[in-house]
Amino acid sequence: MPEPFNKVRIIDIAHMAGVSSGTVDRVIHNRGQVSEEKREKILSIIENIHYQPNIIARSLAMKKTFHFASLLPECKAGEYWKAPEKGIDRAQVEMRNYNISIEKLYFNQFNAQSFVAVSGKLLDANPDAVLIAPTFRKEAARLMEQLHAKNVPGVYIDSNTEDEFYLSYFGQHSYQSGYAAARLLENGLLPGSEILVARTLRIAGTSNQTERREEGFMAYFKANGLMNKYHFIQVKMSADDNAGNQRDIEQIFKKSSHIRTAIMFNSRVYQLAGILKKMKIKDVKLIGYDLSGGNVAALKDESVSFLIAQRPEDQGYQGIMALCNHLVFNKKIKRVNYMPIDILTKENIDYYINYINY
């Protein structure tokens, strides 16, 4: 049986200390107005007895409503960023009776200006706590610093920054996920095969998630002495110019006839899959990241073999929960929380998607 199962109440502590419940309350909440002598006595009793407040009663009595704010990239239905939002909603419903409101703000993920603009709105809203997707690292760190100055706790999800002011982070270890992807990709690969590594053009100042994934990916081959066993072919793909992408890919396949596998580090490997389909190229094992609608479809029609996922919904959910645990329940929060690196195939993705993680 887990031990913290005692049922001592504030009033019990008061009796033990020979004071009233109000005094104990003042000590618990550090509201002063208590003589040092009694204060210490009460504190030591609380310590010895492992007092745990009844959070049920506490939140019933506490009339304050906590105003949370989230700051995420805006996106269309079926796209990646809907997932964390779903988790946020789930957390809110679950915490409905604890008086928590969440104001959702959105920025354009391709435009740092918009992030800054919405940051201002967020500060104006005077929230009690915030959840941020720090796509623009510097700008996010600056925001977090301002929040910290106002004593407003904040969590990051998806990617991290290096500031020291955030309360907690929930996201994947990008480097390690690249490493894991490499293992999947290499599994069963014949020596001499060519590996197509599709890079994405980076927007200045954005998070370097995809780069870290690629680093981890290459590190696998280096660490296992495989750099000469295979040939790596790099290609840069643009986010919008699909026709241009296709031309580049066709060029590459003209030159290289031993491409057996390819990987792409952002959430749009389905675009590459589409190009290969048009070119009637099969038997190229594709690996990609995240469960965007296009990716899921590509996995199901077997044009993509593996997707690496990072439980984005959980990130949103746990981010909000961390804020609740911190503010409402006064619990200690683990600062860096790496999500599992989930490996998805056509055969297991349905169970992954349908799983509701209360």
Distance CA 298, CA 306 (A): 10
Q: Which does 64 bind (CB under 5 to 8 A by kind): a copy of itself, DNA, none?
A: DNA
Alpha helix (H) ranges present in the chain? 10-17, 21-28, 36-49, 55-61, 82-94, 112-124, 137-149, 174-186, 209-223, 242-255, 269-278, 293-300, 312-327, 349-354
Distance CA 92, CA 328 (A): 13
Complex with a copy of itself: residue 140 or 299, whichever CB lies closer = 299
- DSSP secondary structure letters along 106-132: EE-TT-HHHHHHHHHHHHHT--SEEEE
In sequence order, the 6+-apart residues with CB closer than 8 A to the CB of 304 are: 269, 270, 273, 286, 287, 288, 295, 298
Q: Which does 358 bind (CB under 5 to 8 A by kind): a copy of itself, DNA, none?
A: a copy of itself
**Binding residue (CB under 7 A) for DNA from 4, 47, 48, 61:** 61
Place of tokens 């409503």: 65
**Binding residue (CB under 7 A) for DNA from 38, 67, 148, 346:** 38
**Binding residue (CB under 8 A) for a copy of itself from 57, 201, 227, 239:** 57
Q: Is 100 in the site for DNA (CB under 7 A)?
A: no
Binding mask 193-232 for DNA (x = CB under 7 A): ----------------------------------------
Distance CA 316, CA 242 (A): 31
Report which residue type is found at 52.
Q
Q: How many residues does the chain have?
A: 358
**Binding residue (CB under 7 A) for DNA from 1, 16, 35, 108:** 35
Determine the size of the site formed for DNA (CB under 7 A): 32
Binding mask 281-320 for DNA (x = CB under 7 A): ----------------------------------------
Neighbours of 206 (CB within 10 A): 17
Binding mask 126-155 for DNA (x = CB under 7 A): ------------------------------
Distance CA 274, CA 298 (A): 8
Q: Minimum distance between the CB of residue 3 and DNA, rounded to whole angstroms?
A: 17
**Binding residue (CB under 8 A) for a copy of itself from 1, 77, 149, 204:** 1
Complex with DNA: residue 34 or 144, whichever CB lies closer = 34
Q: Which does 29 bind (CB under 5 to 8 A by kind): a copy of itself, DNA, none?
A: DNA
Distance CA 132, CA 157 (A): 6
Complex with DNA: residue 237 or 327, whichever CB lies closer = 327
- Grouping H, G, I as helix, E, B as strand and the rest as coil, residue 194 is strand
Distance set, CA 10 to CA 42, 87, 107 (Å): 10, 35, 46
Q: Is 318 in the site for a copy of itself (CB under 8 A)?
A: yes
Q: Which residues here bind a copy of itself, judged by CB under 8 A?
A: 1-2, 4-5, 52, 54-57, 59-60, 89, 92-93, 96-98, 102, 173, 176-177, 179-180, 182-184, 187-189, 220, 285, 305, 314, 318, 321, 334, 337-348, 351-352, 354-358
